């Protein structure tokens, strides 16, 4: 479990590309939620390497940063914005 937390920020062999499972751990969402976001939009950018879906750690950080709020009364963006 501790190893999972350490490895959530990097893929195999220190790669910046994460699997859906690893990306979910990184942003604390379930892999299924990321899969739904890929279909519906509004989720982090992803890449397809052949049939393999991967997330770059920089794209996850940018997606997360775009959702930063300073108050609970901040307006919430619509999916895809």
Residue ranges covered by each domain of the chain: 2-65
Both tokens of 30, joined, read: 């379930």
- With contact defined as beta carbons under 8 Å apart, do 45 and 80 qualify? no
Structure pTM?
Answer: 0.75
Q: Which CATH architecture describes the domain 2-65?
A: Orthogonal Bundle (1.10)
Q: Which residue stretches of the chain have pLDDT < 70?
A: 1-10, 76-81
| Among 51, 77, 68, 6, residue whose Cα is nearest residue 20 | 51
Q: Which pLDDT value is given to residue 1? A: 42
- With contact defined as beta carbons under 8 Å apart, do 57 and 19 qualify? no
CA 74, CA 16: separation in Å to the nearest integer? 32
Q: Which pLDDT value is given to residue 14? A: 85
CA 53, CA 75: separation in Å to the nearest integer? 31
């Amino acid at each position: 479990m501790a190893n999972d937390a350490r490895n959530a920020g990097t893929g195999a062999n220190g790669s910046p590309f994460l699997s859906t499972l690893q990306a979910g751990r990184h942003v604390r969402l379930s892999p299924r939620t990321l899969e739904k976001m890929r279909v519906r939009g509004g989720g982090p950018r992803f890449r397809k390497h052949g049939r393999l879906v991967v997330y770059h750690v920089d794209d996850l950080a940018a997606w997360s940063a775009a959702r930063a709020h300073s108050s609970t009364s901040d307006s919430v963006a619509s999916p895809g914005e």
